[in-house]
Amino acid sequence: MTDLNSRLANAPVVPLVQADDPKIAVATTRALAAGGLTVIEVVLRTPSSMDCLSAICDLDDDIIVGAGTVLSAEQASTVLDQGAKFIVSPGLDESIVQIAQENNIPVFPGINTPSEIMKARNLGLNMLKFFPATIAGGIPALKAFGSVFGDVKFMPTGGVSAGNLADFLALENIVACGGSWLTPAAAIAAGNYDAISRLAEEAVSIASSVAK
């Protein structure tokens, strides 16, 4: 957890990697790392997503790889077997949290209501995914949460972009922002990995400009 926290402190952006081909997943991840983003979330949204996760976890590169869109305890156990170092879920499921805690692995369950935050907090969690961020209230909602849950940090995902990244990161209760804008499908389909590296570099630059 300490290494993950230090990485996010330096570059508080977590790109989502979605692929159905391990070679493409690896190339995308390396392009992101070349741009300065070394905490990667591989989302389980394709038939070969587990193979993609495994391939990225097998890299010798200095990358922290997590699994996202984890929907069940069974999936949570499987992604840990593949080498995932953290788990991200779109919602709050106690069985997923339990698997992560039993294995001493960070877990970011998705929340968007005060009741969910309270439940997660009482499960011993103080870093949560805020999803879908812009639809669920965006920055005003996060400010309101901060006034009540002062010991909880959030990773907003869903609607975050280069255009609003600085505004999200400027909030005191944000640990990082997640998003798929860094891995556009068109660039990946065209094999334009330089474009992905440039997007990563832009995100790192934006994050560096935000002083808390």
Catalytic center residues: 41, 129
Half-sphere exposure in the Cβ direction for 45 (13 Å, CA): 14
Contact 28, 197 (CB under 8 A): no
Distance of CA 50 to the CA centre of its chain: 17
Sign of CA dihedral 72, 175, 27, 3: negative
Round to whole Å and give the CA distance between 5 and 111.
Answer: 20
Round to whole Å and give the CA distance between 52 and 30.
Answer: 13
The count of residues in the chain is: 212
Q: How would DSSP label each residue in 18-45? A: --SSHHHHHHHHHHHHHTT--EEEEE--
Contact 168, 139 (CB under 8 A): yes
- Six token digits for residue 119: 């439940």
Round to whole Å and give the CA distance between 36 and 136.
Answer: 29
Round to whole Å and give the CA distance between 20 and 140.
Answer: 36
